[in-house]
A and B are shown apart, each in its own frame.
Chain A
Amino acid sequence: MPVADVPVLIMLVGIAAYVVLGGADFGSSFWSLTARGKLGGEIREHTHRSMAPVWEANHVWLIFVLVVCWTAYPEVFGSIFSTLWIPLIIACLGIIMRAVSYVVGGVADERGVVILSAISSFITPFALGTVVGAIVSGRVPVGNAQGDLVSSWLNPTSIMIGVMAVTVCAYVAAVYLAGDAKRNGSEEIAEAFRRRGLGAGLVAGAVAAIGIAVMHNDAREIYDGLTSGAGLVAVLASAVAGLATIAFLWMRRYELARFCAAGAVIAVVAGWGIAQSPDILPGLTVSDAAAADNVIIGLLVCIAVGMLILIPSLLLLYGLVLGGRFDPGSDRNTVVETRVGPMTELGGPRPRSVVAVLGVAGVGALMSIAFSSGAPLYIGIAMVLAALAIGCVMLAVTLVTAEESD
């Protein structure tokens, strides 16, 4: 495979991760809105608690996709964002409202907040879905805002994909929350989400079936790609995974259901990639759009190194969350040592050290003033900054301990 094609694969993986992880986030606020009655408060609390530690990390997948796009295929990024600015800004406003509802939801159970987050849970996936629809149906020409500002994203294919995105979010959220509630021992809530998940799953399946029909008329090229060859395999794989996830949900095997849901999403996204290749936008192939090879290789190196750090960190976070370590009451089960290292009275620094730090800072400052380039300048700055860091600790400790003698 030419190196120019690799980033597109990475973007597809990023999109799938965003749909499954970020999508669960949007979907969960949909369920918060519909939760009423005696279970309602509990459902909302459960939803907030299981999403709060992970929602920020989940959203970074979106940034990740954008960044890969503008580095590897800058012209594609410019074309998409200028033509589709309206749905994109709507999506963004939705994301901001989502943050507002998290922030406020952390301290209060306000109806207004629930409504705000539910609005965002509709408009963000819908708007991003219409963006995908616009690209899929070839409505984004290459160039600065060359497409129609309205019909590029308000058309049958876009609307259909938008609706599908909303239902898929609701579905993945229900599966996630059901699993989380079961682990937590809240059988009643788990059951409530299981029922919701089954309903949403059936709706998502129906929307997908209608979608194929819509594309037959509205986006013939992608329809042909999805109904023949490798594209067809991907669609069938997605259908099988979709049925399997509903079956696992039925059997209360929530972990397996999650994996299958992710699989169904990945298969659809892969099918999209296959059906659309080799074009990325009308008349522009992936390899034509790609940046120079050395840039792409640099990007891939960055991503590889980044993933080496990211994946263990993500596993750690999910391990803690799914392991129940952040659940209410879990703090009582943890043996907590109360101190680190020897506990001694803190004293202020000795005068000699203060003079030394001041000396380093002074010499460094003089060096950085006297030299306007080269090593002496940088060494001088480094001395000043080192003295600053040590000085801050010394001064803070002195000030804090001076309090006891006040």
Chain B
Amino acid sequence: MLASVSSAFPAVDQDYLLEARQMQALSFAVHIPLVCFGVAFPAMVIFTEWLGYRTGKAHYTAIAKRWSKVMITLFAAGVVTGTLLSFELGILWPGFMSAFGEVFGLAFGLEGFSFFIEAIFIAIYVYGWDRLSPKRHLLAGIPVMVAGFTGSWMVIAVNAWMNAPSGFDVVNGDVVNVQPWSALFGNGHLWPQLIHMYLAAYIVVGFSIAGVYAFAWLKGRRGPYFRTAMVIPLAIACLAAPTQLLIGDWSARNVAEDQPIKLAAFEGLYKTTEGAPETILGWYEPDGSIKYGIEIPKLLSLLAYHDPNATVQGLDTVPEEDRPPINVVRIAFQTMVGIGTMLVALAAWFLFVFYRKKRIPETKWFYRAVIAAGPAAVVALIAGWVTTEVGRQPWVVYGVMRTEEAVTGAEGIIFGYTALVLVYLVLAGSTFWVLRRIARTPFTPEIAALEEGPGTAGAKGPESGGKAGHDAGS
């Protein structure tokens, strides 16, 4: 017997929908920044370790060692918040899982194996320092990196399918003719979403880690250790940020094609318009106008279709109950794009100074900006997901199943939600505390001596820590 979209799990009382959504959103907002460190950090750690072996300089190895401890700490938090997410899929959205589990389940199956591999090799990597030969140790890091990629690939495949569902038919309320492979991997949204998310992880991690050492730089700790630990993540983030612009544009074109109402919500475009303008800032009014916005003629058509005179479909083409909450989506989208643009400006500043003067910037404002860039990137990350997820509303499976058909009929979710908030606070607090402890571990004498050079006041002092921990609490 096939699960049915309409009959087996009839729609329930809708009081729980809001609570369920908030619980889901909170859990994602905690999980996603954490997993960025499982996705993007391994490559940076391995690169730094390789530099150390390659040049024989001790401070590179010391950086890699310390970073790997941060990595496994955040990994642990990522693992348990992810476990909670898979519980929540069933607890909060049983209707969705019952009807469509068989369509997208395979991807989660493969994801499970990625997690196994990541968990196994991250342990070998972190506990294997000085116990495995350098070559084997480096090799142990590779699967961590690969599994971080395949893990996000699989989970994004599911999300891309929710945005552009295919690979099944609905006959009399039953899901039939399920073709899981083409549903998951033959999906046009998969590649732009995956690459955009993957780059976002590098941007988040790059700026967050660089921010920690930028803070140290401002405090006068500028020896080789601190400098190297800042420039490596900064280099990666500064190149990933402009690339993100390009991929974001690709994502937007995909949305324009497959989810025109979502695009209209990004922009608050009420009426179908030829040569549509882009409106920046402002507030969408129920009558379909945008108050206090700055209008740039024809830009939206140009961005969405790469043609200034293209026609853009408006919100008025669907009934009101088929539209997502416009202001949430629109503000989230503009936040992401705004922050993305500022990060590109920061990157350009850095690269320009380095190109012209062959040194890193000296003004304090640059370092302050780098410190701010880490949390800003996390905000962009979450704003991006709010854009995608809330923009998909009122559908959980776009155009096929409404969210209210997916939600649980159980009472009392609010208590689970409250307990969850408390436990997350404990998790965030203790992760933060541990990161500070890691940052305060004294250096080995060798590194401490290296940091004693000129201009490194308080070199033996604690590495300013904990900044990376803001992610755990976000």
Contact = CB atoms under 8 A, between A and B. Distances in A.
B94 A82 contact: yes
B345 interface: no
Contacts of A77: 90, 94, 97-98, 101
Given A86-B416, A143-B8, A336-B130, A74 B102 contact: yes
A45 interface: no
Contact of B236 (A82, A89, A103, A392): A392
Interface string B1-26: 11100001110100000000000000
Contacts of A313: 116-117, 120-121, 143
A102 B76 contact: yes
Contacts of A106: 73, 434
B142 interface: no
For chain A, the bracket of interface size reads 35 or more
Interface string A41-82: 000000000001110110110111011101110110111111
B352 interface: no
A385 B82 CA distance: 28
Contacts of B249: 369
Contacts of B108: 67, 70-71
Interface of A is mostly: helix
B195 A385 contact: yes
Contacts of B188: 373
Interface string B404-432: 00001111110010011001101100110
A403 B231 CA distance: 10
A314 interface: yes
Interface stretch (B132-140, B289-297, B368-376): B132-140
A82 B178 CA distance: 24
Contacts of B97: 70, 74, 77-78, 81
Contacts of B426: 96-97, 100
B131 A74 contact: no
B348 to A, nearest CB: 14
Contacts of A289: 1
Contacts of A295: 102-103, 105-106, 178, 180
A388 B243 contact: yes
Contacts of B135: 337, 340
A368 interface: yes
Given A67-B86, A71-B106, A299-B105, A144 B12 contact: yes
Interface stretch (A171-179, A208-216, A233-241, A324-332): A324-332
Contacts of A78: 3, 9, 90, 94-95, 97-98, 101
B254 to A, nearest CB: 9
B282 interface: no
Given A93-B419, A107-B434, A372-B306, A402 B359 contact: yes
B109 interface: yes
B84 to A, nearest CB: 5
Interface string B262-300: 000000000000000000000000000000000000000
B176 to A, nearest CB: 8
Interface in B118-135: 119-124, 127-135
A63 B123 contact: no
Given A88-B91, A343-B56, A388-B240, A294 B178 contact: yes
Given A70-B89, A381-B195, A317 B120 contact: yes
Contact of B128 (A81, A302, A320, A344): A320
Given A99-B79, A316-B120, A326-B128, A396 B231 contact: yes
A392 B199 CA distance: 12
Contact of A292 (B12, B102, B143, B305): B102
A309 interface: yes
Contacts of A144: 9-10, 12, 94-95, 98, 408-409
A379 interface: no
A99 B124 contact: no
A49 B117 CA distance: 21
Contacts of A62: 83
Contact of A310 (B8, B113, B408): B113
B191 A378 contact: yes
Interface in B4-52: 8-10, 12, 47, 50-51
Nearest to B441: A107
Interface in A257-299: 288-289, 291-292, 294-295, 298-299
A57 B98 CA distance: 28
B246 interface: yes
A372 B55 contact: no
Given A67-B112, A70-B101, A56 B122 contact: yes
For chain B, the bracket of interface size reads 35 or more
A66 B80 contact: no
Contact of A67 (B56, B109, B180, B410): B109
Contacts of A292: 2, 102, 176, 178
A384 B410 contact: no
Given A86-B412, A86-B416, A336-B133, A60 B109 contact: no
Contact of A75 (B3, B106, B438): B3
A316 B253 CA distance: 45
B437 A85 contact: no
Contacts of A146: 409
Interface in A90-141: 91-93, 95-100, 102-104, 106-108
Given A57-B116, A75-B8, A88-B91, A402 B358 contact: yes
A218 B102 CA distance: 34
A93 B124 CA distance: 27
Contact of B124 (A71, A80, A320): A320
Given A67-B112, A81-B97, A104-B430, A338 B56 contact: yes
A247 interface: no
A401 B184 CA distance: 44
B448 interface: no
Contacts of A52: 123, 127
A11 to B, nearest CB: 12
Given A103-B434, A326-B127, A326-B131, A298 B181 contact: yes
Q: Considering residues A89, A309, A330, A368, which has the most beta carbons from chain B within 10 angstroms of its beta carbon?
A: A89
10 contacts: A59-B79, A96-B80, A103-B73, A144-B408, A145-B408, A292-B2, A306-B113, A313-B121, A320-B127, A395-B238
The 3 A-B residue pairs with the shortest CB-CB distance in the complex, in nearest-first order: A71-B105, A81-B90, A74-B101
